[in-house]
Chain A
Amino acid sequence: MQQPSTDIVLRTFGLSKRYGRRLALDGLNLEVHRGRIFGFLGPNGAGKTTAISLILGLLRATQGHSEIFGLDSRTHLPAALRRVGAVVEGQAYYPLLSARENLKVWAALYGDSAEQRIDDTLDLVGLATRAKDKVRTYSQGMKQRLGVAAALLHDPELLVLDEPTNGLDPAGMREFRDLIKQLGSSGKTVFVSSHLLGEVEQMCDDVAIVKSGKLLTQGSVVDLLRQGEALEMQVTDTEAAMRVLNAIDWVRGVIHQDGRLVVEAPRERAAELSRALAEQQVYLSELRAREGSLEDFFLEVTGEETA
């Protein structure tokens, strides 16, 4: 896991988008640090694609703006975008051209160095053997990979991927996650939107959660998971144990669940809990740490049933 950097490559300032009476995005403030894989998580319709489209200049912001590499998007967007590789939602390729020709089209916008990288990029995404076939004959997964190849063509510093695993089968999704991790470990900053919690949890260093156009929270995945950590215990006297535990100020909550107590507390303080209970003649018959999951955290902050 890489450490956060103070070097912010993408930042939004109160980014908002209104369609008539509907506020699709409401004052989004994000910070994406260099070298991190940043998950942009939210249910379908949360405003993720709108936010990405605003950042990339495809939509006009109703209010607010963004900065990419410190460049104000209102005045320096084309220069900033030349350092960004992006895959936006929806099909975006020339179906009558081959993969190589599609990449040649996009490479022309960057210059000779990008054109020289076409073969390497096709190889990286596993399309080298089908490079001469027309893209209309490709499966959904191959088209997705072509999109990533196009985004990587000019060796960008920042990758922006909007729901990149949509339409992929489980094996394809796994391959894709590995590719993203590989890119992240090579020092690139990756901004990836998804509505799949597991995907974000497995891939990302940092995460922001949006719902109904509003940012609910953002932080490192490790920190967010830590908030979901708990201790599960079985005790000799449940009611007495709950009284004792609720009196401890650093215990965030106690729930009686399936004959066990679930104590929301840092697991490194398990010994202190055990001692506090023992002092009141309440003894543990079982104690184990429960890992926090992003799903639990997501459901807590969004109030969603499922995501």
Chain B
Amino acid sequence: MSLKILGIELLKMRKRWMPYLLFLVMVAGTAMIIWGSYGDWASNDSENAPTGLRSFTLPWSLVALVDSGQFWGSFLIGVLIASGVATEYSWGTVRQALIRGQTRSQYLTMKLLGLATMSAVLLLVALGIGVLFSILATAIADKPITFDVPGGPSFVETVLIILRAGYGILPYALLAFALTVVSRSTAMGAAGILVFIIGEAILGEILRNLGGPAPDIRAALIGPNVSALLAANTIGSAEYNSLAFRELPVASDLPPLTTAALVIAAYCAFFLAVTYAIFQRRDLGVESGGG
């Protein structure tokens, strides 16, 4: 039964244009990372530019792709979630689900699982296309296509690189979910996550430059902990060509990886708890008031 309901959630999303539009944006981003880097490399003295070469060849390109994917994916998945949740309110279909005996917890859980599945598929396919671009660019550059480089990741490490980036999207996705469930508005959910990410980055910079307990407070924000996760993705000491608008993390400035993972888990739990608690108590009457 749950699998069937999950399939229905995916059907509902497949019939909308929003996931496809967001997917196109993701693919455009991967193209910019790989082909932009290739263009830079090809227009310079290519044989003497190993750093430029690394920006579009595997395995370094994978790190660049997931880093950018985490940053922009947080916005894009936030928009997808806001749209997916808020339209159920505006169409009145949330009420239809509940009057059919689905509990409020079941409704939210299935909605969340559906959105998570769709998000994961979109991100992974976009990543796959980015890797394909990287392989093509490497072939055009007539360079070896391999993960077997000094400091290169094993298969397990490659999976971990992707999972860490995905985990970095999770708190923002759940925040978008919470904001939309609370506000019942696509605009509030999507704009809310945008404002939060930008605001948090500004706050982080202010705290970093203040003395006293400010750096400790900064370490409790989501952003630095996500950066700590992504810092673990670095291959060797090479920099990568990410489209994320954030400073490349400085190891000494970041929380330990385990601490970062726990802080992010705590945020996720908090956002989920708020969402479920509010939805559980909420009146879901007809907005007009009716008769």
| A residues at B contact (CB < 8 Å) | 42-50, 53, 56-60, 77-82, 84, 86, 88-97, 101, 104-106, 108-111, 150, 154, 162-163, 193, 195
Contacts and interface: CB of A to CB of B under 8 A. Distances in A.
A53 B102 contact: no
A97 B290 CA distance: 26
B92 interface: yes
A92 B5 CA distance: 18
A44 B289 CA distance: 10
A150 B96 CA distance: 9
A163 B288 CA distance: 14
A82 B15 contact: no
A56 B287 CA distance: 16
Shortest 4 CB-CB contacts between residues of A and residues of B: A49-B290, A92-B92, A81-B101, A82-B101
Contacts of B98: 56-58
B285 A104 contact: no
15 contacts: A48-B291, A53-B285, A59-B285, A78-B103, A81-B101, A82-B100, A84-B99, A89-B286, A89-B288, A90-B95, A92-B93, A92-B95, A94-B93, A154-B100, A163-B291
B286 A97 contact: no
Interface string B215-258: 00000000000000000000000000000000000000000000
Contacts of B7: 108
B11 interface: yes
A105 B92 contact: no
A42 B91 CA distance: 26
B12 interface: yes
Contact of A58 (B8, B95, B103, B289): B95
B5 A89 contact: no
Contacts of B102: 78, 109
B29 to A, nearest CB: 26
Interface in B252-272: none
Given A49-B286, A162-B290, A105 B11 contact: yes
Given A48-B291, A89-B290, A101 B100 contact: no
B91 A59 contact: no
Interface in B46-105: 91-93, 95-103
Given A58-B285, A108-B5, A93 B290 contact: no
Contacts of A79: 101
Nearest to A98: B15
Contact of B283 (A60, A82, A86, A88): A60
B286 A109 contact: no
A106 B289 CA distance: 25
Given A88-B99, A90-B92, A109-B101, A45 B289 contact: yes
Nearest to B290: A49
A5 to B, nearest CB: 24
Nearest to B100: A109
A49 B95 CA distance: 13
A58 B283 contact: yes
A90 B8 contact: no
Given A94-B12, A97-B15, A108-B1, 7 more contacts: A58-B95, A60-B283, A77-B101, A78-B101, A96-B16, A108-B5, A108-B7
